[in-house]
Amino acid sequence: MGDDGWEDKRDMSRVALINGGKGDLAQAIAHVLKEKGWGVIHTPGKDELDVRDEDGVRKYFGRIERLDLFIHNAGFIRDHAFLNLNCEDWDAVMAVHLRGGFLCVREALKIMMRQEEGGHVLLIGSNSARSGSFGQSNYAAAKAGLIGLGQAIAREYGQRNVRCNVVLPGYLETKMNRHLRAEIVEAIRRQHVLGRFTTIEESARMIAALAESQHISGQIFQLDSRINPWT
């Protein structure tokens, strides 16, 4: 990787960008994509690309000549019971997940629509969007917003051969979750019919496989063994 955070691209015909690049999942996805021959621009985190900053996002994407895959992975949590949640915590989570998704996808789409081949946008969601996890009303609302955003993009830009899907990777044992108490983690584990969590590596492989799909758009993919009721 160069001093400016941009990696050498192995295959200029297939270029991917993953934001939130310091995260465990982003690093795993980048590794699998590179094994598959993708050229990966792996953003190291908000120091290089603050997804909340409209001008900064525009300038960052303005350096990119080709983009076949964009993965909106940036995110963090500020968990509180609803009545203990303040506006700062609400706005901070919304700004990264939802505003950041809007700003980055908007710029990614401009690049993809210049290409005859179109492109693929993957939004990293969460099962919290479906379940409304306790203490995560801000996070759940933001991730639910990404589902709506993803399906609207899929509907609007399908005729331009731009696909958009939302991936719910499942509970992953990452840096973001290491603060959770053992009893909370165990309660989440009991929701899984297999009695175990998916792994970062398996989620990355599934996301990379979906990234290469050509005929799937507007869908939500859950990558664990929790079963949600039909609604």
Q: Which residues are catalytic?
A: 139
Determine the 3-state secondary structure of 181 from DSSP. coil
- Output the six-digit token pair for 129: 């969007």
- Residue at token pair 């609400």: 90
Query: Cβ-count burial of 68 within 10 angstroms (0-12 exposed, 13-18 middle, 19+ buried)?
Result: buried
**Encoded tokens for 200:** 């970062």
Say how far apart CA 182 and CA 153 lie, in whole Å: 38
CA distances, 195 to each of 140, 190, 208, 226 (Å): 23, 6, 25, 9
CA–CA gap between residue 140 and residue 154 (Å, rounded): 21
Q: Which tokens go with 155?
A: 């509907």
